[in-house]
Amino acid sequence: MQATIPAGLDRKEAEVYLRLDPNRLPKHIAIIMDGNGRWAKRRHLPRVAGHRAGVASVRSTVETAARVKIPSLTLYAFSEENWKKRPKSEVDFLMGLLCRYLKQEVPTLNKNNIRLEYIGRLHELPPVVQKKMEEARQATSTNTGMVLTLALNYSARSEIVDAFRSIVDAAARNGGLDHMEIDEESVSRHLYTRHLPDPDLVIRTSGEMRLSNFLLWQLAYAEIYVTPTLWPEFRGVHLLEGIAEYQKRERRYGGLADHDHHHASKARS
Ligand code: FPP
């Protein structure tokens, strides 16, 4: 049977899509968008030109993910470290880019039934930016399709610290520390990502083999796909190639492979 190609895919995307098993798509994909600076440098442009070009990649990736019905996509837009260690001019530029993106993209997000969320220490962002973020979130809050989560001023270690604080606070409010329950379930429920399943696949662009303090708890069993493509050159077709690679991998979660399992239970019987 010929698989149906989702509406809106271009020819190259359709070609890769036909190699995918639509029943085994990842439920949550997380992306570390890296290489904007290198892309700009190669063109003898200022770093910020790379960030500007990166917005087109965000647009393409988000639309393709929604079209093939990925339930959740999370993008590492900037880390706590980026925000604290980069020159103010670059940070200001990124904030401006984000505000413009939010303003321009809301109609497209609505058209594609995408709900916008954020993770990170959002209260540390400039109040004007927070206001625009909240408006965009509200404007897309009733959409029922893909959840697009932007990680802004995000650090996984800070997130875990905040989760512990929130567990202790909740216990103090609900009958005292004797009633505090800590297990994997409760930690997950206090992370910023409580609205999401753990990612099945994490993609990093521009070749670096690091997690860079991104979703450390949530990525425990994720497949890692690193592509040399720089973020400003990444498009929907590259996302689909990442999914194709993911589908070739065998996921075991610490158990045995299916065929080994079969042998093991046969040996026991
Ligand atoms: C990494 O490249 C990228 C960033 C720190 C910023 C990512 C931002 C965007 C793609 C655009 C704005 C985002 C949204 C959601 C509208 P780098 O500068 O670390 O690259 P390098 O490692 O080559 O220097």
Q: pLDDT (tens digit, 9 = 90+) per residue, 71-126?
A: 999 999 999 998 889 999 999 999 999 999 999 999 999 999 999 999 999 999 99
Query: Bigger pLDDT: 263 or 86?
Result: 86
* 234, 205 Cβ separation under 8 angstroms: yes
For the chain, what is the mean pLDDT?
93
Closest ligand 1 atom to the C-alpha of 52?
Answer: 11
Residues 151, 119 contacting (CB under 8 angstroms): yes
Of 10, 21, 23, 34, the catalytic one is 34
190 alpha carbon to ligand 1 midpoint, in Å? 27
For residues 74 and 35, give the distance between their C-alpha atoms in angstroms, rounded to a whole number.
18
User: Which string of DSSP letters, residue by residue, matches the chain?
Assistant: -PPPPPTT--HHHHHHHTTS-GGG--SEEEEE---HHHHHHHTT--HHHHHHHHHHHHHHHHHHHHHTT-SEEEEEEEEHHHHHHS-HHHHHHHHHHHHHHHHHHHHHHHHTTPEEEEES-GGGS-HHHHHHHHHHHHHHTT--SPEEEEEEEE-HHHHHHHHHHHHHHHHHHTT-GGG---SHHHHHHHSTTTTSPPPSEEEEETT----TTSSTTTTTT-EEEEESS-GGG--HHHHHHHHHHHHHS---TTS--HHHHHHHHHHH-
Establish whether 200 is a catalytic residue.
Answer: no
Q: What is the pLDDT of residue 38?
A: 98
Q: Helices 88-111 and 47-67 sit at what angle, rounded to 10 degrees?
A: 20
* Closest-lying ligand 1 atom to the alpha carbon of residue 40: 23
| Cα–ligand 1 centroid distance for 246 (angstroms) | 24
CA 248/CA 177 separation, integer angstroms: 46
Residue 265 has pLDDT above 50, yes or no: no
Per the residue annotation, which of 21, 36, 82, 112 is the catalytic one?
Answer: 82
What token pair was written down for 29? 């994909």
What integer pLDDT is reported at residue 269 of this predicted model? Answer: 40
Which residue in the block uniquely carries the two structure tokens 């512990």?
164
Distance CA(113)–CA(143), nearest Å, equals 5
Average pLDDT (214-232) is: 98
Mutate to test the pocket of ligand 1, among 31, 32, 34 (most ligand atoms within 8 A of CB): 34
User: Ligand 1 centroid vs 159 CA: distance in angstroms?
Assistant: 21
pLDDT digits (tens, 9 = 90+) for 163-211: 999 999 999 998 888 878 899 999 999 999 999 999 999 999 999 999 9
Task: List, in order, residues 6 or more apart from 95 with CB less than 8 Å away.
Answer: 125, 126, 129
Look at residue 266 and tell me whether its pLDDT is greater than 60.
no
Whether the Cβ atoms of residue 214 and residue 191 lie closer than 8 Å to each other: no
Ligand 1, CB cutoff 6 Å, lining residues:
33-38, 51, 54-55, 58, 75, 77-78, 82, 97-98, 101, 150, 231
Predicted confidence at residue 252, as pLDDT, reads 76
Q: Is 162 a catalytic residue?
A: no
pLDDT at 264 over 60: no
- Determine the Cα–Cα distance for residues 219 and 200; give it in Å rounded to an integer: 8
Confidence class for position 157, pLDDT limits 50, 70, 90: very high
d(CA 64, CA 9): 7
What span, in angstroms and rounded, lies between the C-alpha atoms of 116 and 42? 33
Check whether 262 has a pLDDT greater than 60: no
Q: Please give the number of the atom of ligand 1 that sits closest to the Cα of 231.
A: 10
Mean pLDDT within 146-156: 98
Which CATH number applies to 11-155+197-250: 2.60.40.10, 3.20.20.10, 3.40.1180.10, 3.40.50.1970?
Answer: 3.40.1180.10
* pLDDT score at 175: 85
At residue 3 the predicted structure's pLDDT band, cuts being 50, 70 and 90, is low
Q: Can you give the pLDDT at residue 180?
A: 86
